[in-house]
Structure formats: C-alpha cells, structure tokens
Amino acid sequence: MSLDALNLDLPTLLAIAGMAIVTYATRLGGWLALRRLVLSGRARAALDAVPGAVLAAVIAPAVLATGPAETVAAAITVVAALRLPQLAAVVIGVASVVLLRLAMS
C-alpha cells in the first residue's frame, strides 16, 4: 500500500510519527524517573489520578466547544461510566450523541 492510497502527504506522516515519538519518550522518561522510587500514600494517589486528569483536560474543551448535543451526551456518558462497565458507557455515549444530534437538529 502506498502513501497515495492512504491519502497522506509527507508532512502529515512526519507530524504523526513525531507525535508518536514524543508520546513514547514522555512515557519512557516518566518510567525511568520513577522506576526506583517506592511510592505510597499521597504520591501514589496523585500519580494514579494523572491519566484521568489528562483525559478530562483533553476531552473537556472539545465537549464544551462543539454544541449542546455533545455536551449533554458527555454528561450522560459520565453518569453511565460511574455506574456501568466501560464498554456499556461507550455504547451509551455514542448512542446518546447520535440521538441527541438527531433530536436537536
């Protein structure tokens, strides 16, 4: 398969590869920095909260800037995620955004 079949130009491909390398480097750097430390208590709780905080920081602007259907669907998804397994929350989130877009259009 060629790059033409994927509809990618060289700068886009380089940008994707660069982002992948930087992402991997930050994960590796964090692991190397903390691998010899024994964390407990607050430090462990803080590091355990980082993935959720990063996810919220990435998703929140998109949720609040897109429209009312997406904002309401995000709230529904959060409630579902607090009560149901992850796959069920994803299905409910996708279904709710589709239905709300249809209802609000």
Look at the chain and report how many structural domains it folds into: 2
Q: Are residues 56 and 103 in the same domain?
A: yes
> d(Cα 2, Cα 83) in Å, to the nearest integer?
45
- Domain extent, residue 22, equals 1-38
CB 68 within 8 A of CB 104: yes
Is the Cβ–Cβ distance between 47 and 39 less than 8 Å?
Answer: yes
pLDDT in tens, 29-52: 888 887 888 878 888 888 888 888
Evaluate whether residue 27 is within a structural domain: yes
pLDDT class for 6, splitting at 50, 70, 90? low
| pLDDT tier, 4 (very low <50, low <70, confident <90, very high otherwise) | low
Do residues 82 and 102 touch, judged by C-beta distance below 8 A? Answer: no
pLDDT reading at 2 higher than 60? no
Reported confidence tier of residue 58, pLDDT bands at 50, 70, 90: confident
Question: How many whole angstroms separate alpha carbon 105 and alpha carbon 91?
Answer: 21
Residue 80: pLDDT over 90: yes
